[in-house]
Structure 1
Amino acid sequence: MTKHTVVVAESQTLFRDMITNFVEDMEEFQVIGTLTNGQEVINFIKEKEVRPYLILLDIHMPVMNGLECAKQLKEMHPNIKVVLLSAFDDEESIETVLSVSADGYILKSSGLAEFKDTLRFINDGKFVAPQKLVQHFSQRLAYLLKIERESSLHFIKEQFNQHKDLNNRELQIIQLMKKGWTNRMIADQLGISEGTVKNYLSLIYKKLKIKSRVELLQILSDMTG
């Protein structure tokens, strides 16, 4: 069978040799390069004129770390599968994984069977990451979806449903205020003057029986806890 080519980049000799042996032990893969930092990976691809199927990158390497290398690789060769390796599952490392479009994330504390299973899942086109990382992204996604819903015009209309005298333009302005936009930003978005926005706000305050932007923002804050 034709084997998928793999490059391993790890600054520590012991881990690099271990990872290489793990990969070579799998019949699906063949290691064609073992390197010590991200810059060597970039140079290897350019100088050897090869396109590895899979590149395993330690996140914490000198000269060029795995994150920067992954970013450059995905920009130059988006079809190359890139997997990040790390001894840490801290929030800072977790935050940056998806930002570089990596295909997977493996902790060095993983067992051999888990390591091999992860590579096979990634080979099948799945994104694989530790449970803690997946939970983190799930929580973050849920939070972002909540923010998006509570900033929607539909949500604003529901919350101000009892104020039938608020027209659609006024509700739009309230929606954009909830997003933290300034009068200038609102004016540019709606294609009106900043003075017109101020006039609308005066009408909104009157209809809601309040006197200032601060009071309106407090109302909006109370809606979402």
Structure 2
Amino acid sequence: MVKHTVVVAEAQTLFRDMITSFVEDMEEFSVIGKLTNGQEVIDFIKQKEVRPFLCLLDIHMPIMDGMECAKKLKEIYPNIKIVLLSAYEDEESIERVLSVCADGYILKSSSLDEFKETLRFIIDGKFVAPQKMVHHFAKRLDSLLKMERESSLHYIKEHFNHRKDFNKREWQIIQLMKKGWTNRMIAEHLGISEGTVKNYLSIIYKKLNIKSRVELLKILSEMTG
């Protein structure tokens, strides 16, 4: 049976030895490196000219922590699997984990069976994380999807009752205003001047019988599903 190679990085000797022992106890894996920080992981891979299948990185390490190491490894070696280890499941840690494109996240409070099961899921190409993190991610995704839906042109037109007195450019500007864009951003995106954007907005205000950007933004902010 071909074993998947693993590098373990953990600052504390006891945890490093325990994690290594857990991994070595699984017939699917073989530990080829035991290191104390993220910089050592990157140096090890470069110097040894090896590409481990999996890197188990503690989030909190000196010199280079697991987050920074994961980010660098994914940039240089995108096919290497990265699993982050932490004693924490606070929202700040969750946000950071999602930002580095790790393949998994294991809490140090997990049972041995959960630890091994997570590594086996990683082999199958699955992303594995604690339930709290999954719920947080799902909540964020729902929020982003809601924002995207409410910024769609179809959604906006529905709330303006598909009125016929707006032309294509005016609808575009209303849509970008709904997304919170400034006049300069709108102008650059549409390839027109800021002055032209202001002229279009004046026409839009007149058609809606309002007098300012504040009033338009208030109308747009009240569009919720």
TM-score bracket for the superposition, by shorter chain length: over 0.9
CA deviations over 1:9-28 (Å, ceiling 9, x no partner):
00011111111110011011
Instruction: Give deviations 1:178-225, integer Å, cap 9, x for gaps.
Output: 112222221222222222222211111111111111111111111128
Cα deviation, residue 79, structure 1: 1.2
Structure 1 residue 157, shift from structure 2 partner = 1.0
Q: 1:4 & 1:187 partners in 2: Cα distance?
A: 53
Instruction: Give the aligned residue type for 2:102.
Output: A
Determine the structure 2 residue equivalent to 1:91.
Answer: 91
Structure 1 unpaired stretches of 5+: none
The AA in structure 2 aligned to 1:2 is V
Give the structure 2 partner of residue 193 of structure 1.
193
Counterpart Cα distance in 1 of 2:46 and 2:192: 52
**Distance in 2, Cα, partners of 1:166 & 1:142:** 31
Q: Could you say which residue in structure 1 is the equivalent of 2:31?
A: 31
Q: Quote the offset at 1:83 in angstroms.
A: 0.6
Aligned twin of 2:13: 13
- TM-score by length of structure 1 reads 0.96
- Cross-structure match for 1:169: 169
Task: Tell me the residue number matched to 1:116.
Answer: 116
Instruction: For 1:102 and 1:152, locate their aligned partners in 2 and report how far apart those are by CA, in whole Å.
Output: 31
The corresponding residue for 1:77 is: 77
Instruction: Kindly indicate whether the alpha-carbon contact (under 8 Å) linking 2:38 and 2:63 is maintained by their aligned counterparts in 1.
Output: yes
CA–CA distance in 1 between the matches of 2:146 and 2:44? 45
Q: Distance in 1 between matches of 2:150 and 2:177?
A: 12
CA contact (8 A) 2:85 2:105 kept: yes
Q: Deviations over 1:107-166 (max 9, x none)?
A: 100000000000000011111111110110000001001111111111111111253322
Mapped contact 2:70–2:100 kept (Cα < 8 A): yes
Give the structure-2-normalised TM-score. 0.96
For 1:192 and 1:52, locate their aligned partners in 2 and report how far apart those are by CA, in whole Å. 51
> What amino acid does structure 2 have at the position aligned with 1:6?
V
How many residue pairs match? The answer is: 225
Residue of structure 2 equivalent to 1:221: 221
Taking only the aligned residue pairs, the percentage that are identical comes to: 80
Comparing 138-147 with 71-80, greater Cα deviation is found at: 71-80
CA RMSD of aligned residues (A): 1.3
Letter in 2 for 1:32: I
User: What are the superposed Cα offsets for residues 72-98 of structure 1, whole Å, 9 maximum, x if unpaired?
Assistant: 111111111111000000111100112
Deviation at 1:99, TM superposition (A): 1.7
Describe the SS at the equivalent of 2:222: helix
